Amino acid sequence: MSRIGNAPVFIPANVEISVDAGNVVTVKGPKGTLTQKVDPDMSITIEDGQLGVKRPTDQKRHKAMHGLYRSLINNMVEGVSNGFVKELELVGVGYRASNKGNLLEIQVGYSHPIMFYIPDDLKLETVTEKGKPPLVRLEGIDKQLIGQVAAKIRSFRKPEPYKGKGIKYKGEILRRKAGKTAAK
């Protein structure tokens, strides 16, 4: 039994959901519009301010898609009503971040700065406070896109386990290792 797939998606008052022919779900809200094509085997019902996803059989493939599409639709509803935020910290001496519009420029210990263009769907902000590591803040309505862009930025300099230097998610707990000890 799919616990996630069976849970209903609650639709806030300011969000509209429409299901077109071909199982294309469109979610409109105060922050924007998102669309997702759903497998034709899945049936989508909207009643009493709740959206339900039903599967035709108990095949392994249908069970997998049941929870997947329910989660994707729930993330769309949350994105157009509240939005998503990811924050990355640049931990290290001399690590800097700045932006001009959606062009991110980071310096993370290489001989050159890294220029990275953020998609127009996302809002980029860099914060530099004295005594704290520089912060890169991504905001948007598409959870998948924010996660993908944040992972790409993090991949430029992953945090290393000895000193903890690198680009990490805010609040991420790193597994630290002890360094070498001198022989006596």
Backbone phi, psi, residue 74, to 5°: -60, -40
pLDDT at 2: 59
State the average pLDDT over residues 171-182.
Answer: 87
Is residue 76 pLDDT above 70, yes or no? yes
CA torsion, ordered 109, 110, 111, 117, to nearest 10 deg:
-110
CB count, 10 Å around CB of 40?
Answer: 8
pLDDT tens readout for residues 94-118: 999 999 999 999 999 999 999 999 9
* 143 three-class SS: helix
Q: Domains, the chain, ranges and CATH?
A: 3-81 (3.90.930.12), 84-169 (3.90.930.12)
* 146 three-class SS: helix
Both tokens assigned to 124: 């980029």
pLDDT at 49: 87
Is residue 57 pLDDT above 60, yes or no? yes
Rg, C-alpha atoms of the chain: 21
Measured CA to CA, the distance from residue 43 to residue 54 in angstroms comes to 5
The answer to whether 25 touches 17, Cβ cutoff 8 Å, is yes
Name the pairing type of β-strands 123-127 and 32-37: unpaired
